Amino acid sequence: MDFIKKSIIIFILILLFFVTLIKISEPFIKAQLSSVFEGKKFAIKIEKELNNLTTDFTPEKKEFYKTLIKKLYIKWKPLIDEAIKEAEQESKK
């Protein structure tokens, strides 16, 4: 009979421990989940904004983006070429 009482008390303590652990971790999990969903909403908003930008593509905007892309391409071209060479060398091995 003593063994059964100890087993029941241990079971209740373990159950209380898990309930407490869940209650303590609930705000953290809730914050993580909300940040994930906010990130998706933000990504959708950015995608819509980018789509809206391309609908009104005036010649001024076209020239602006063209020069911007050209500058970025010139800046990143050596790094891209180096990465391509390394990838080709690794694929030959």
DSSP the chain: -HHHHHHHHHHHHHHHHHHHHHHHHHHHHHHHHHHHHHHHHHHHHHHHHHHHHHHT--HHHHHHHHHHHHHHHHHHHHHHHHHHHHHHHHHH-
Domain that holds residue 88: 57-93
Answer yes or no: do 1 and 17 share one domain.
yes
- Give the tokens for residue 93: 């091995």
- Residues 46, 82: one domain? no
Tens of pLDDT, residue by residue over 50-91, are 777 666 677 887 888 889 889 989 999 999 999 999 999 998
Averaged pLDDT, 9-14: 93
**Considering the entire predicted model, what is its pTM?**
0.37
Our count of domains for the chain comes to 2
